[in-house]
Amino acid sequence: MARIAHLSDIHFGANDPNIVAATIDWLKEKKPDLVIISGDLTQRARVAQFQDAANYLQALRQNELRLLVIPGNHDIPLYDVYFLGLDVNREILHDRINKRVDIMFENGLVKEVEDLFTNPETWEYTSFQGIGYKEFKDYFLKEKSIDEVKTAIKTHSRQYAKRQYTWFKNQMPVHWFEAQNRDEIYSAVKEWLMDEDK
């Protein structure tokens, strides 16, 4: 069973250095299979804050930790940036989501949830509210089957993917490209880099 650690909204520039140092020590000791760092890495997208964030990520990498970093809206740089988004056909995206959920179940998701959340008191935990966990409540209450839970997870995951697209399209000036159109992407980025007026 894969072990994942998830850190969110570190906010370098307004962070507690002792807590940040403690996370490094904890991750070094536990060595999860994947460390997800999401939300705002910086407080106000300042150069020094990005440098602190880079040093932190480097410290984790030096300990052979595998990282998935997803910056937040505070991390929008205060200088020229070409935001590039890769789009994919919705049918392909939905198929990938469905297959990922199937793999989660094949790899023991039911046992993982039963080990963590069989006690009804745990259903109020924030960790239980995430997609892939919260759908099991009706299963524990004997109101839904495992197949119905799996279907609900797939549906909620597809809905979440749609909300992510909507957020990026409304919050950032993203230039969207079909993921397979590499030549078009390279050409657009090259043109932007050579634009002296930007």
How high is the pLDDT of residue 167?
Answer: 87
| Cβ within 8 Å of residue 157, ≥6 positions away | 97, 100, 101, 131, 132
CA distance 104 to 100: 6
Model-level pTM? 0.57
CA distance 6 to 16: 18
Distances (CA, A) of 13 to 59, 145, 150, 183: 18, 47, 41, 39
How high is the pLDDT of residue 52?
Answer: 93
How high is the pLDDT of residue 160?
Answer: 93
How high is the pLDDT of residue 163?
Answer: 92
- The strand pairing partners of 69, in sequence order, are 37
How high is the pLDDT of residue 173?
Answer: 85
How high is the pLDDT of residue 77?
Answer: 67
How high is the pLDDT of residue 79?
Answer: 67
How high is the pLDDT of residue 198?
Answer: 52
Domains of the chain: 1-78 (3.60.21.40), 80-198 (1.10.287.890)
Per residue of the chain (198 residues), what is the pLDDT tens digit? 778 999 999 999 888 999 999 999 999 999 999 999 998 899 888 888 889 999 999 999 998 899 999 888 887 766 678 889 999 899 999 999 999 999 999 999 999 999 888 888 888 888 889 999 999 999 999 999 999 999 999 999 999 999 998 888 887 889 999 988 999 999 999 998 887 555
Rg, Å, the chain Cα set: 20
Distances (CA, A) of 177 to 39, 52, 84, 162, 188: 24, 32, 8, 16, 10
- 171-191 pLDDT per residue, tens: 788 999 998 899 999 999 999
- 61-84 pLDDT per residue, tens: 998 899 999 888 887 766 678 889
How high is the pLDDT of residue 187?
Answer: 94
Give the full edge-to-edge strand order of the sheet including 67-71. 4-8, 34-39, 67-71
How high is the pLDDT of residue 45?
Answer: 83
| Cβ within 8 Å of residue 164, ≥6 positions away | none
